[in-house]
Chain A
Amino acid sequence: MLAYLLSRAAQFVVALVVASVVVFLLMSFLPGNAAQVALGTNATPEAVAALEAQYGLDEPPLIRYLQWVAGMLGGDFGTSYVTGAPITPVIIASVQVTAILVVCSIVVAVLIAVPLGTFAALEQRNWIGVTISALSQVGIAVPNFLAAIILVMIFSLQLGWFPSQGWMASIEGVGGFLARLVLPVVSLALVQAAILTRYVRSAVLDVMREDYIRTARAKGLTRTRALFVHGLRNAAIPVITVAGVQLATLLVGAVIIEQVFVIPGVGSELVRAVANRDLVTVQGIVMVLVMLVLIINFIVDLLYPIVDPRIRSAA
């Protein structure tokens, strides 16, 4: 068990280091350096050199990489060459907003998908099960921003139930906060729920074919009861994996949804930074997103032995 934990932790750290090198290289060795990009094409060479010196861009790449990493470890993601302001507060504020969106979305997606997928598996031969499967196939094909536009058309423009855009912190008013949260969360959750439903259904179907379910049925348990008592825990492993993957997908999906609903999250900051050619901010936000993806994977890895004793004993 300890060996399993240590090997996972080591893999996590290695992945983090490699990812940081990749992000740094991508942003550093590209046509036009950051100072040139920030000042625009009309800048004099002297101005570019001055800005480079000011932000230490004239240092060798290895030194700059180490400074960047050391800064991040100390909670400092650097200073934007475009605005001249430190970017850490921007990242912290926007990550909080995105985290609310993403966590709410995965919860809603799981709440929709687990019952629906289980039901579709139990009823796989009749029209309800087939309809759920078909609907989930269609749902997967709908990009979240299209779902968002359709939801806005119906629930905001036609029915007027929710605002079509904007954001409000929960301390400014819980009602306003929730009203602005519903449509973005549902747009993100629906597509993920469609994908997750398929996995839940398939996992439950696999479990139902197992010998121990047949044994439980032979003991006189009903199909549903056998599944609930013995099956669901086993079906949980693939579902947890997929939900973890989806959490990561949602982080990126939120980038687009935040644009649709004008929400001040990581995605909006990222798109704004790209538009402003603010490479330091892009580099910081991308690193935070990749870090979050890796952390989610790490946590999913840690969850396996808890859910499945077989992995615990094997490791």
Chain B
Amino acid sequence: MSEARSSTPFDPTLPVRVDDAGPDSGVETGRPGRGRRRPSAAMIIGASLVLLVFALALVSFIWTPYDPSTIDPAARLQAGSLEHPLGTDRFGRDTLTWIMYGARITLLVGIVAVGIALLIGTPVGIIAALFAQHRWGMWIGAVIMRANDILLAFPALLLAIIFAAAFAPGTGPAMVAVGIAAIPGFARVARSGTMQVLSSEYVRAARASNRSTAAIAVVHVLPNIAGMVIVQASVAFAISVLAEAGLSFLGLGTQPPVPSWGRMLQESQQFLSTHPELALWPGLCIALAVLGFNLLGDGLRDRFDPKMEARGHG
């Protein structure tokens, strides 16, 4: 989430891989077998959770049990029943419907934020690495990475609060702020990956046969760092889910009447002693979504990038 740390021998933006091959795989941590192509249990769980969130959101466009704005005073604060599988809130609104609509906002914020970070951060990282190759361009690469470090001093949530203060609180500023805060992570990953690719035999061969720098970047660098960028996207998605939930919880993210998990959780606080299930469902959804993207990222890292974790510095 932060800081001037490119110079350190360790990069905390990249979560450490847990030994998620499972106890019986016999795979040593950090040294997955070369031929291993079977997805790990963790990755399957992660992918399933992510699919579940997407399914909730997509189905909500076609069908939900109720309309999210339907207020039914007679059915307020009900426990789970056949009519309302997950119960109702203080206005008699159906919780399942709200959970499904909430998935939309969660994914929307994640997709837009990760999209912004990926489309800006990846080229920035590649360019910084390319400049670092030349004696005359080294300082440009260094300046880019320093700027990156300073941006890291603004954690996603803080940047989003600044945006909420400057513009108005809402989903739009939240998405942009979370996206900007996630740029350094992508730049870091793209830069270290590009450095590796540039030092390879085939790039030297391409250079020798007079391929232009731009062509090398597109033909050789991009495909080779794509895996690591996808891993970073999964991790950044988890962070953006957390940031959106936190912002909406503070009342600075998604505004009423649009349903969001963070605000459901915030509104549930006053009924904690009498209706704890109101907090349970949105809380569970947030945690499972984050868990899903984290596990998926870990699993993908094992596949794409067996040796790159825990040293994102170039």
CA distance A271 to B167 in the complex (A): 14
Question: Is there contact, CB below 8 Å, between B246 and A145?
Answer: yes
Indicate the size class of the contact surface on chain B.
Answer: 35 or more
CA distance A133 to B117 in the complex (A): 29
Q: Which residue of chain A lies nearest to B11 when distances are taken between CB atoms in the complex?
A: A241
For B161, list chain A residues within 8 Å (CB): 255, 270-271, 274, 282, 286
Choice from A30, A149, A198, A293 contacting B166 with Cβ under 8 Å: A30
Question: Is there contact, CB below 8 Å, between A297 and B291?
Answer: no
Choice from A31, A126, A133, A143 contacting B245 with Cβ under 8 Å: A143
For residue A72, CB closer than 8 A to chain B, the reply is no
Question: Is there contact, CB below 8 Å, between A18 and B295?
Answer: no
Indicate the size class of the contact surface on chain A.
Answer: 35 or more
Question: Is there contact, CB below 8 Å, between B150 and A18?
Answer: yes
Q: How far is the CB of B301 from chain A (nearest CB, A)?
A: 13
Segment 145-186 of A: residues with Cβ below 8 Å from B: 145-146, 149-150, 152-153, 157, 164
Residue-wise interface mask of B (133-153) relative to A, using a CB-CB cutoff of 8 A (1 in contact, 0 not): 000000000000011011001
Segment 230-284 of A: residues with Cβ below 8 Å from B: 237-238, 241-242, 244-245, 248-249, 252-253, 255-256, 259-260, 270-271, 273-275, 277, 279, 282
Question: Is there contact, CB below 8 Å, between B287 and A153?
Answer: no
Question: Is there contact, CB below 8 Å, between B153 and A245?
Answer: no
For residue B250, CB closer than 8 A to chain A, the reply is yes
Question: Is there contact, CB below 8 Å, between A133 and B18?
Answer: yes
Beyond the given A26-B166, A202-B310, A297-B5, please list 9 additional residue pairs across the A-B interface where CB-CB is below 8 A. A19-B154, A137-B20, A143-B245, A146-B286, A153-B272, A238-B310, A270-B161, A271-B161, A286-B162
Residue pairs across A and B with Cβ atoms less than 8 A apart, 29 shown, are: A18-B147, A18-B150, A19-B153, A22-B154, A133-B18, A133-B20, A136-B18, A137-B18, A138-B291, A141-B287, A141-B291, A145-B245, A149-B283, A153-B279, A157-B272, A202-B29, A237-B10, A241-B5, A241-B8, A245-B2, A248-B153, A249-B2, A252-B155, A279-B165, A282-B161, A282-B165, A290-B153, A298-B4, A304-B8
**Interface residues in chain B, defined as those with a beta carbon under 8 Å from any beta carbon in chain A:** 1-5, 7-10, 12, 15-20, 22-23, 29-30, 42, 146-147, 149-150, 153-155, 157-158, 161-162, 164-167, 169, 238, 242, 245-246, 249-252, 265, 268-269, 272-273, 276, 279, 283, 286-288, 290-291, 294-295, 310
